Amino acid sequence: MVSRSAGVLSSGAQAIRAFSYSSPARSALVAFGSAIALFTALLMMPWATSSGASPQLHDAVFTATSAVSVTGLTSVDTAAHWSTAGQVVILAAIQVGGLGIVTISSLLALSVTRQFGVRTRLLAQTGTSAGGLGEVRSLIKTIVISSAVVELVIALILAPRLIAQQGSVGDGIWHAVFYAVSAFNNAGFVLHPDGLAAVAHDPVVFWALICAVFLGSLGFPVLLVLWKHQWHLGRWNLHTRLTVEFSVLLMLAGALGFAVLEWSNVATLGGESVADKLQNSLFASVMMRSGGFAIIEPSDTRSSTMFITDALMFVGGGSVSTAGGVKVTTLAVIFLAFLAEARGQEDTTAHGRALPTSSVRIAVSVAGMGLTLVSASTLALMILTGEDLERTLFESISAFATCGLSTGLSAELEPSGVYLLSGMMFAGRVGIITFATALTMRAQRTRFRLPTERPIIG
């Protein structure tokens, strides 16, 4: 009996090994899945909860998935339900998810072999979307160094304020470290039972969180270019230009839309001063794109504001960033293709460069697959919960885009709904293209071309 069980386990391990080694994309899929399983097991321990009893499996799975995918959605209150040890596990999961399982695997391989093999470089390239194999080492160094530096600086800024607010040096430092890691990794987890309301009035905390989330959402390839060339715009590559331009544009547009729509809403901005209205609108706009922190509860905003939030969450942040969504460069490429078509131009161009047709095709595919996943998840949640479209759509997009903003629906779901959103967070973090490629058993290449025929469009 034992030998038969051992044989089954051995066969399962061999099947997983064969699946993961068949392509770098599948290796990334297995790496993230393994990380979620590990942190789920840790959170299932009695010492991980404040009550000393093992949590429900679906709550542990949901929290681990949310942390590794740096989302921030929770089915239980992080401050009240989990013990300090459980919160440390969540923090470790956020850091692992933010750095990326692929990056950590590559670093471990480097520490053992002292060099990157071809397979390790291919795996790292898949996980980080590096432009070429030669850029992988520099990009991974940028990921590790920038994460450590930004998180340390933010923690040092937050520590004095949170020590004063908590009334304890130990608690203040712990909260500062947790919020620094959560902010830069765009995770949105909070340790205060009442959310950020207790510290939102402090301008230092307020702006530190905004800066950390925005930097994390730009993407490590952009941070690498900014580190090398600072503000010499002529040396920026096209990806950096498009990411920065559209990130700033979306941030300002989101802040303007939030302010206009919520200006007189007494449940949100109505009773505040003009300066606070503008500040809170900017904060909300930055967090919509994946930060997940909230001073104003989304459920208190108007339906029109929630629609804008849905759109910004779906877009998300920059490629190879701690943010989720279909990415700002995807939106940029689709917009530029639309602009070129409206002008009657054959090529899609930006900043004196022509974009390859494959980039446009991939951008449309990513957006289309994202919309399909969100639509299916929303429909399933409507069936499972009986809720209307507004709340289910908001929660589905937040999970897929690994944003973490919530109308409170996640905490109300039955286990089936919790597992559904866990799958959405996993798909959103691993990446649509990686996820689809990992599930494709073989790549089919044709050695011939079919006759061309143009259908009627529009």
Q: Using one digit for the tens of pLDDT, what is the confidence trace for 290-301?
A: 888 988 899 999
Looking at residue 63, what is its pLDDT? 96
Looking at residue 49, what is its pLDDT? 95
Q: Which residues pair with 20 in a beta bridge?
A: none
Reference 36, options 84, 86, 115, 101; nearest CA is 101
* Residue ranges in the chain whose pLDDT is less than 70: 1-25, 101-139, 433-446
Looking at residue 330, what is its pLDDT? 92
Looking at residue 407, what is its pLDDT? 92
- Rounded Cα–Cα distance for residues 237 and 240 (Å): 6
SS3 call for 380: helix
Looking at residue 139, what is its pLDDT? 65
Give kind and range of the element (H or E) at residue 361. helix 357-385
- Rounded Cα–Cα distance for residues 240 and 217 (Å): 12
Looking at residue 133, what is its pLDDT? 47
SS3 call for 348: strand
Looking at residue 438, what is its pLDDT? 53
In degrees rounded to 5, what are phi and psi of residue 67?
-75, -45
Q: In this structure, which amino acid lies at residue 81?
A: H
Looking at residue 235, what is its pLDDT? 84
What the block records as the tokens of 207 is: 């702006």
Integer angstrom CA distances of residue 422 from 15, 48, 427, 432: 24, 20, 9, 15
Annotated domain spans of the chain = 21-438
CB-CB contact of 50 with 77 (8 Å): no
Convert the pLDDT of each residue in 167-208 to its tens digit.
889 999 999 999 999 999 999 899 987 778 777 788 899 999
- Does residue 273 come out as left (phi exceeding 0), alpha (psi in the -120 to 50 range) or beta? beta
- Rounded Cα–Cα distance for residues 304 and 300 (Å): 12
Reference 405, options 254, 248, 261; nearest CA is 254
Please give the distance of CA 373 from its chain centroid, rounded to a whole number. Answer: 16
Looking at residue 15, what is its pLDDT? 54
Looking at residue 441, what is its pLDDT? 45
